[in-house]
Amino acid sequence: MAKINPMMIAPPVIFAALAAMFWIGMGRDNPNELPTALAGKEAPEVRITPLGDLPGFDDASLRDGKVKLVNFWASWCAPCRVEHPNLEKLKEQGITIYGVNYKDKPGNALGFLAELGNPYAAIGADNEGRMGLNWGVYGVPETYVIDGAGRIIMRHAGPITQRAIDGALGAAIAKGTGE
């Protein structure tokens, strides 16, 4: 019987494995959406420090019976600047947004809000990135939709755009409000 050379089999096997991974990845509803293991679970602990004299929030704030957003952002983040007008629109629509200033300098963060406006009902700083780590933040901006009981409905990675508001993010907010 002829001996099979492993070097002859390896390339087709590797190709088949890569093709399968790509095929599975393309089958996701939104390839840009990063899933979260926290969906449906209680939001992790809120661990922030005050940002200037702005009001802060805590765990109890997330369990007030109403849907809300928790938005991780930074002044050095260009996409955060892009999403800011949409956060202002959501605020005008009555959506409560809590801000977590992520790994930023307080002066820069306060300057950012002074320049663009403050869409946050309350805000705090995560200077060390500990809260972000516990929440599974990959980078900023990231926004979590939280239901009235403090459970995570959805995670949106990247800037909030009108398209996101009209799509999955808006649907998650509606789900949280019971609409």
User: What tens digit of pLDDT does each residue of 38-59 get?
Assistant: 888 999 999 999 999 999 999 9
Residue 32 has pLDDT above 80, yes or no: no
In this prediction, residues 9-27 reach a mean pLDDT of 64
Give the model's pLDDT for residue 2.
Answer: 62
In this prediction, residues 106-124 reach a mean pLDDT of 98
Give the model's pLDDT for residue 17.
Answer: 67
The residue extents of the domains of the chain are: 36-177
Considering only the top CATH level, what class is 36-177? Answer: alpha beta
In this prediction, residues 13-33 reach a mean pLDDT of 58
Q: How many CB atoms lie within 10 A of CB 96?
A: 19
pLDDT (tens digit per residue) in 56-109: 999 999 999 999 999 999 999 999 999 999 999 999 999 999 999 999 999 999
Q: Which residues pair with 42 in a beta bridge?
A: 151
Residue 138 has pLDDT above 50, yes or no: yes
Residue 150 has pLDDT above 70, yes or no: yes
20 three-class SS: helix
- Rounded to the nearest 5°, which phi and psi values hold at 107? -60, -40
- Is the pTM of the predicted complex or chain greater than 0.85? no
Residue 28 has pLDDT above 50, yes or no: no
What does the block give as tokens for 146?
């939280």
What does the block give as tokens for 10?
């390896």
- Rounded to the nearest 5°, which phi and psi values hold at 93? -80, 0
